Amino acid sequence: MCQHRNTTTPGWVHGILLDQPSLLPVSSILKQGPSIDMTWYEWEDESTGVKNKRSMLQLAAAMQAVKCVQLLLDAGADAGLASPSDGQTALHLACDCKPSMANAKVIAMLV
């Protein structure tokens, strides 16, 4: 699992972590459309200490945030977008998660 160690975490990250789309800036997300993929967030893998850039959709997939994944896909987020730091896509990150119903739903949405 990943964890961010910055005390100035944007509110939308908390929305993803809690799978609460109401905490995401929905109106600005919907207005952004495909450019939503250009918002990168630096995330640290706590098992390796490596920092990678993640899009909102990649974070939501990694956290198995089903509602947030659906909102972001509906807004035009690109499921095939690769991280500029390690080449991982939202599907790669979802497949790395512990198996669960939420994980299966996220993977189904991304393929």
57-98 pLDDT, tens digit each? 998 999 898 988 998 898 888 999 999 999 999 999 999 988
pTM over 0.85: no
Which of the four pLDDT bands, split at 50, 70 and 90, describes residue 10?
Answer: low
Cα–Cα dist 19/110, whole Å: 16
CB-based contact 61:110 (threshold 8 Å)? yes
Record the tokens describing residue 33, joined without a space: 């459309």
